[in-house]
């Protein structure tokens, strides 16, 4: 199957592949050879000598070792030695993920979405821009007699804008399936994203955490987000989401992964 990569973390790919191939290829070279035979007769006065002459030519072709080619090799090597690599090609999540542990390399097909809260806080979601507009228009509204008493104080608006800016352009994605309660979630780094991830696709990633059934984890506390302290995060996880805030949380059973690739 030809793969259309929507996300491919090349540094992680090179790290994994170099471990399996004892280093990385700088380029791929292929040689092709061809030969031909020439027959003839030479002589004087009807007396001659016949013979054949072989000619050979060789051509060397050098190809770049592209990221997509490296991923194909990684996938093939991992499937050939799944136990050593820790590779799990998830077909039946309830069975295949039952004993999954940290460090496993998992591939699963699922429907991917970016939670609404993450969208709102992202630059594309426009929360920071909307706050700027509110702060710019508030003095004018007061000048023309409009009631601005319902607006948050300036300090709160600045705090909200600063919180949104900490997310940068990276995104948290969640994947789910109709045939299981298992979910997969992970953070995407903007430099390796090349398309719209939402919709059905295959995720490949290294498991960084396993969430037991019935437990919760706030999406903004996914590994790598670093948006809250350890004690605060644990307190929130024990308490779980407030009513109506469930979409901002990840509920177990679930796995969190360091996303390597997303493709269709």
pLDDT in tens, 190-241: 899 998 999 999 999 999 999 999 899 888 766 555 666 778 778 878 888 8
What's the mean pLDDT when you consider all of the chain? 79
Cα–Cα–Cα angle for 255, 124, 156, rounded to 5 degrees: 90
pLDDT mean over 70-93: 95
Whether 122 shows a pLDDT value over 70: the answer reads no
More confident position, 46 or 158: 158
User: Which pLDDT belongs to residue 25?
Assistant: 72
User: Which pLDDT belongs to residue 143?
Assistant: 52
- Answer whether 91's CB lies under 8 Å from 178's CB: no
List the domain boundaries for the chain.
Answer: 67-115+168-263, 123-166
CA gap 148, 20 in Å, rounded: 62
User: Which pLDDT belongs to residue 88?
Assistant: 97
Torsion, Cα of 245, 249, 252, 257 (10° steps): 170
Whether 154 shows a pLDDT value over 70: the answer reads no
CA gap 85, 161 in Å, rounded: 43
Strands 254-263 and 216-218: unpaired
Whether 180 shows a pLDDT value over 80: the answer reads yes
Query: Which residues lie below 8 Å from residue 41, measured CB to CB, with a gap of 6+?
Result: 48, 49, 50, 51
Identify the DSSP state of 242: P
Whether 106 shows a pLDDT value over 60: the answer reads yes
Whether 135 shows a pLDDT value over 90: the answer reads no
More confident position, 211 or 136: 211
């Amino acid at each position: 199957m030809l793969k259309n990569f929507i996300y491919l973390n090349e540094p992680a790919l090179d790290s994994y592949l170099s471990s399996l191939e004892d280093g990385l290829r700088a380029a791929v070279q292929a040689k092709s050879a061809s030969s031909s035979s020439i027959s003839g007769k030479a002589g004087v006065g009807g007396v001659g000598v016949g013979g054949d002459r072989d000619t050979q030519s060789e051509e060397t072709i050098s190809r770049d070792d592209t990221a997509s080619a490296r991923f194909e090799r990684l996938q093939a090597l991992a499937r050939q030695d799944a136990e050593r690599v820790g590779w799990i090609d998830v077909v039946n999540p309830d069975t295949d993920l039952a004993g999954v542990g940290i460090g496993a390399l998992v591939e699963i097909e699922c429907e991917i979405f970016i939670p609404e809260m993450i969208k709102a806080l992202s630059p594309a979601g426009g929360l920071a821009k909307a706050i700027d507009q509110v702060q710019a228009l508030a003095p004018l509204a007061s000048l023309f007699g409009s009631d601005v008493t319902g607006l948050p104080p300036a300090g709160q608006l600045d705090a909200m804008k600063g919180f949104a800016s900490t997310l940068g352009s990276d995104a948290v994605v969640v994947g789910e399936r109709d045939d299981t309660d298992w979910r997969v979630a992970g953070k995407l780094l903007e430099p390796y994203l090349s398309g719209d991830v939402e919709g059905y696709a295959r995720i490949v990633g290294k498991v960084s955490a396993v969430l037991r059934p019935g437990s919760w984890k706030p999406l903004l506390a996914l590994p790598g987000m670093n948006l809250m302290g350890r004690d605060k995060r644990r307190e929130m996880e024990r308490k779980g989401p407030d009513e109506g805030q469930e979409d901002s949380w990840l509920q177990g059973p679930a796995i969190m992964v360091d996303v390597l690739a997303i493709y269709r």
